[in-house]
Amino acid sequence: MILRWNFVVGLELTLVIIFVTSSIIAFTLLCRRKKQANKNMSPLVSHVIIYPIKGCKGVERYSAHITPHGIVGDRQYCLMVKESSETSDWVTLSQNRCPKLATISVSLASAADVMQISAPSRQPLTLRGKLEGPQHEVNFWGSSIRVIDQGDDSSRWFSDYLGIECRLARILPGMNRKDIASGEMRTNSLFYHTPILVMSSESIQAISSAVGEDICYDRFRPNVVIKGVNAPFEEDLFCSLNANDWSMDGSELCVRCSYPGVNQKTGILDPRLVGKFRAIRNPKSIRMHPFYQQHAQSWKPNDYMVGVYMTCRTESGKIFVGQQVAARF
C-alpha cells in the first residue's frame, strides 16, 4: 500500500514537473518569437513629404524618387536675408526667426520647375524656377552655399507678405555641401544634418497624449512618416530602414529647437508647448541605438529629440505611401 502510494505521489510530481517545464519552454519560445517578430516587423509608409521652399509648408506626395542626396525635389529653394544691417552677407531664413513662413503653401504644377505659391489674404504667385541669374553665397548652418536669385517679383511677394526684406533663391545645381552627421558630400538639397528625416505615427500619438492636445506631424517636418511600429519612439532604435529597392541607414537623432512649437496652420509660436516637448523627450529620458550616442557630447541641457535622420544608401529608388518597410535594430 505504501509502495503504491509512493508511486502515485511520484507520478504526480513527475507530471507536475513536466507541466511546469513545458510551460516554461513554451513561454520562452513565445517570447523569442515575439522578440524576433519585433525585430522583423514590417511597418508601412504613411506619408511622404517634400519641402520645395525651405521653411514653407510641405507638399504631400504619393510617391517620390529617393537618392543618397535625399528625396528628389526636397528643399531646392530658400529665402535669404541679410545677416545684419551692417553686412552684405546672406543667411537662410527659417521659422525660428520668422514663424509666419509656416503659413505659405506651395503647390507643384505638372510642368517642370513650376510652382504656385499662396498665403492667406494674398494673390497666388506662379513661379517658374530659374537656372540663370545673379548668384549669391548664403550662409547655411556654417556652410557657404551658392544659390541663384529668383528675381524681383518673387522677392517682392515674399517680402511684402512676411514683412521682412528677403529674396527667394535656388540652390545651384551640382552644388556640394558636407553632411554634418556623416561628413559625406551631398548635392542639391538644403537639408540640415542629413537628407531624410523619419518618424512614426505612433510617436506622434504618444506626444499628443503626453502634452494633452492633438499634435500633427507637420510640426516636426519629417520627410517620411511610418506606421505600424511596435511602440512609440521605436525609430530611436533603428539601425536601418529597408524596402524592396532602397535602403536607409540611421545617422543620428534629430535634435530640436523651437521649430516644433510653431503651429503650421497659424504661424504662431507656442513656447509653452516647446517646454512640454523638452520635458518628455530630453536625452536622459529616451532609449536610443548605441550608434546615436556618439553625438551625446554635443547635446545641450535644453535639447530634445524627435525623429531620426537617415541617409539613403541606394543610388536610386522609389518610396511611396503604403510601401512595406523593414526596420533593423
Cβ(158)–Cβ(168) under 8 Å? yes
Host domain of residue 305: 42-50+192-328
CATH of the domain at 256: 2.40.33
Strand 196-200 with 143-149, pairing: unpaired
Cell reading at 113: 520647375
Nearest to 196 by CA among 307, 35, 118: 307
Distance in angstroms (rounded) separating the CA atoms of residues 260 and 217? 9
301 in the same domain as 199: yes
Residue 5 domain-assigned (yes or no)? no
Residue 59 domain-assigned (yes or no)? no
Residue 321 domain-assigned (yes or no)? yes
Residue with cell 514663424: 99
Cβ neighbours of residue 239 closer than 8 Å, sequence gap 6 or more: 249, 250, 289, 291, 328, 329
Instruction: Give the DSSP per-residue string, 75-112.
Output: T-EEEEEES-TT---EEE--TTT-GGGGG-EEEE-SST
Residue 140 domain-assigned (yes or no)? yes
Residue 219 domain-assigned (yes or no)? yes
Q: Model pTM? A: 0.84
197 in the same domain as 183: no
Structural domains of the chain, count: 2
Residue 25 domain-assigned (yes or no)? no
Q: pLDDT 10s digit of each residue in the chain, 329 long?
A: 554 545 444 555 555 456 545 555 655 555 455 445 445 558 999 999 999 999 999 999 999 999 998 999 999 999 999 977 777 789 999 999 999 999 999 999 877 789 999 999 999 999 999 999 999 999 887 778 899 999 999 999 999 999 999 999 999 887 766 655 556 665 666 777 788 999 999 999 999 999 999 999 999 999 999 999 999 999 999 999 999 999 999 999 999 988 899 999 999 999 999 999 999 999 888 999 999 998 888 888 889 999 999 999 999 999 999 999 999 99
Three-class DSSP category at 175: coil
Residue with cell 513565445: 30
Distance in angstroms (rounded) separating the CA atoms of residues 8 and 14? 10
